[in-house]
Structure 1
C-alpha cells in the first residue's frame, strides 16, 4: 500500500467513526452542485450530461435516497468559461453549503474548478473532461475524480485506428485548449512512422473556419485529426464540405464526435467514412444492463434515439451515491476516500476508480460513420467497445 493510499484509508476510517453520527443526525436533502454548459455552443453537451444526472437522481430518490435522505441538484451554467464556472462553484459552497460537485464538462473549466475543490476540500467528480492534466502531477489531489478516458489513453487507441485507416501523414486541427494539446501530444508519442504535416488551432467556440479549411486543403497530409465539438464541429463540416475537404482527406475526430446528436444535427451532411469516438451509442446491443439503461433514458427524455452525454452524468451520480453509502456519511473527506478503488456496475459493465490516479477505467466506442438505409441520420459502423 502506498503512502497516499494509506492516508486515504485513514481518512475513511476517521470519517466513518467520528462523523457518521453527525451525518445521520442531519435531515433534509443532500445537495449536489452540478456545473455544466447550459447555454451557447456547449449547451447540447451540458443538457445531455444533465439528463443523465436527472435520471440517476430520480432513480436514487425513488429508491429511498442515500442514507435515508433525498438528493437535491443545484444546477449552474458554466458557459464554457473558467471564470464563470469557478464563480458558480464558490457561490454554491458559500451560500448553499454544497460539498459534492459533478462537472464542469470541459478540460479548461474542470482544471479551474478542481483547484477550488482542493482548497475547499469538497468532492469534485469530473464526468467528461479528458485532459490528462486534470489528474496528473501537482494537479492530482484527494478530492478530484476523473471518469472519462484520459488523453493519454485516447492517444494509444487513436493511433491504432489511424493505422487501420492507412494513414501516412496527419494534419492536426482543433480548439486551442488543454484537451487538444494533451490528445495531440499523446498521438505524437505513439504514431511512429506516421508523419505530421501541420497543426492549425482555433480559439475556443470559434465558428468561422474559412482560414483553417484553406490551410488544411493546401497541406500535404492524407488524414485530418480534429477536436472542434458541438455546434463548432457542425459549423466546420458545413463550411468545409463545399470545398471538397472530406473527399480529398480522410478524417478522424475526437471530442466524442461519435455522439448520435451530432449525426442527427448534420443529417445527410455528415461525411460518410468519418471515424469518431463516443462514450455511448443508443443502438449498441452488447449488454443487458445497457438495454435497460437506454429504455429508462428513452422514457425520461421522450425519445428512443438518445445521445451519448447522459451516461457520463448518470455514472457520476452512481459513483457519488455509492461512495456516500460506503462512507456512511456525507462528510467530503470520507466520501473522497471511499471513491478510491470504488467499483460500480454501470450500463456498460463494471467501472473502477484507480486509487492511485483517481481515474476511472471507463470504456469508449470507436466507429466509422456511414449512411443508413431509410434514414437521414448516419450511424457508426464497425463499432468497437474498447476497455
Structure 2
C-alpha cells in the first residue's frame, strides 16, 4: 500500500514539507560542519601561578602579563594560523596544589608550560610536565632543585639560586658587612639559596664572618627565637632567603627588638606587597635583591606604560619575565612550524638573541636550561617603596 494513498492530499503535502525541512536541515548541518572545520582550534599555553593565598598579590599581575602577551599575539594573527590561548592553574605556592594544577593543565592539551612563580610549587610539577612531553619556560622560580632531574625540557628565565648567592656575597661586601646571619623558611628556593650563600660566605676570601643559620616557620605570627639568636650573635646583616609574607614579620620583629643592622632580602622577598605590611621606619636599612623590574629597566619603559594603561597599576615583580615566557613560547612554536612538543622544545633550546627580543634578559640558554648572563638588581626601601640602591 502506498503511503500517499493512506495519508491523502494533506498528508502528501506534510511529507513534502518534511522532506524540504530535512534537506534544509542537512544543508545547515553541512554548513555548521564546514564552519567548525574552518575555525581552527587554539594553541594553548599553560601557566601555574599563585592566584590564591598569601602570594596572590604576586600571581595576579603575572597573569595580567600573560594575557597581555597572548592578546598581542592574536592581534598580530596568532601563530601557525591559529589563535593563542592561555590557560591558568592556581598552585597557591603549595606543592600539593601544584601537582593537581599541573595534571589539570596536561589534560587541557597545552603545548608549553610558561608558569612557575614559586620553586616549592614548580619542583613537583616538573615530573608531570616532563612525562607529558611538555616543555617548561619558568619565569620566576629559580631553585637549583629545578635542574636536579636533568630534564632537557626545563628553561629558567630567572637565573639560579647559585647565581643569586654569588650576587648576595657581592652585595654584602658593598654594604660593608662583617658578620652575617642567614635565615630561611625551609622551602626549596629559600633552603637552596641559604645553603649556597653559606658555602660562599665560609670561603676564606669572602671577607664576611658567618654567624649562623636560622629557620622561620611559615604561618607563625612572630619569630622571637630567631631574633634573639641574631642579636646574641651580633650580626650586622641578616640575609633572609624566603618569601615576603614571612619577611614582613621578621622585619617587624627585628625592628621591635631594636636591631640596628641591615637586612637583605632575596628576590622572593623583595616585593612591594611586603612594604604594605611594615611601616617606613621598619623599612630603614632594608635592602633586597631583585630580578629585572620594568620600572628600573629603560628598555622596558614603553612596555611598562602599556601595562599601566591596560591594568591601572605598575607592573610588579616577575611580570616582565611572565610576558617574556609567553612571547618566547609563541616565537618557538612559530619557528618550529608545528605544535609538536619535542620540536617546540628544541626550538626553545636553540633560541638566539636575534629570534626574539626579551625585555627581562638575554634570549639564549645554556645546555642546562639556564639563561645566559641573568642579572639581579639591588634595591632599597625608601618612603614605603623600593628604589635602586645607591
* Interval containing the TM-score (normalised by the shorter chain): 0.7 to 0.9
* 1:248-288 Cα deviation digits (max 9, x unpaired): x222110343334434554524523322112233432x53x
* Residue ranges of structure 1 left out of the alignment (5+ in a row): 1-23
Contact map agreement 1:155 1:183 (CA 8 A) in 2: yes
Could you tell me how far apart the structure 1 residues matched to 2:276 and 2:350 are? Answer: 37
> 1:36 aligns to what?
49
> 2:243 aligns to what?
229
TM-score relative to the length of structure 2 = 0.82
Could you tell me how far apart the structure 2 residues matched to 1:322 and 1:292 are? Answer: 21
Answering whether residue 33 of structure 2 is matched by residue 27 of structure 1, we say no
Query: Which of the residues 104, 113, 127 maps onto 1:101?
Result: 113
> 1:382 aligns to what?
389
Alignment CA distance shift 1:363-1:212 (3 Å): same
Answering whether residue 315 of structure 2 is matched by residue 306 of structure 1, we say yes
> 1:251 aligns to what?
263
Contact map agreement 1:200 1:212 (CA 8 A) in 2: yes
SS in 2 for 1:145: strand
Query: Which of the residues 299, 308, 324 maps onto 1:315?
Result: 324
> 1:240 aligns to what?
254
> 1:16 aligns to what?
none
Alignment CA distance shift 1:125-1:381 (3 Å): closer
Contact map agreement 2:240 2:264 (CA 8 A) in 1: yes
Contact map agreement 1:323 1:338 (CA 8 A) in 2: yes
Alignment CA distance shift 1:278-1:33 (3 Å): same
More strand by share: 1
* Residue ranges of structure 2 left out of the alignment (5+ in a row): 1-36
* Structure of higher CA gyration radius: 2
> 1:51 aligns to what?
64
Q: Which structure carries more relative contact order (alpha carbon 8 Å, separation 6+)?
A: 1
Query: Which of the residues 159, 166, 177 maps onto 1:156?
Result: 166
SS in 1 for 2:214: strand
Could you tell me how far apart the structure 1 residues matched to 2:237 and 2:117 are? Answer: 28
Could you tell me how far apart the structure 2 residues matched to 1:379 and 1:88 are? Answer: 33
> 1:67 aligns to what?
80
* 1:113-149 Cα deviation digits (max 9, x unpaired): 011122121122211111112113xx12122211111
Q: Number of matched residues?
A: 347
> 1:363 aligns to what?
374
Alignment CA distance shift 1:261-1:83 (3 Å): closer
CA drift at 1:98? 2.4
Could you tell me how far apart the structure 2 residues matched to 1:32 and 1:41 are? Answer: 25
Could you tell me how far apart the structure 2 residues matched to 1:113 and 1:167 are? Answer: 38
Query: Which of the residues 201, 210, 217 maps onto 1:196?
Result: 210
> 2:175 aligns to what?
165
* 1:193-218 Cα deviation digits (max 9, x unpaired): 42221111123454432332222222
Contact map agreement 2:244 2:268 (CA 8 A) in 1: no
After alignment, is 219-228 or 308-317 more displaced? 219-228
Alignment CA distance shift 1:187-1:85 (3 Å): same
Query: Which of the residues 280, 283, 286 maps onto 2:295?
Result: 283
Answering whether residue 92 of structure 2 is matched by residue 79 of structure 1, we say yes
Alignment CA distance shift 1:222-1:79 (3 Å): same
CA drift at 1:300? 1.9
CA drift at 1:92? 2.4
Alignment CA distance shift 1:112-1:40 (3 Å): same
CA root-mean-square deviation: 2.3
SS in 2 for 1:125: strand
Alignment CA distance shift 1:348-1:282 (3 Å): closer
Contact map agreement 1:267 1:378 (CA 8 A) in 2: no
Alignment CA distance shift 1:205-1:25 (3 Å): farther
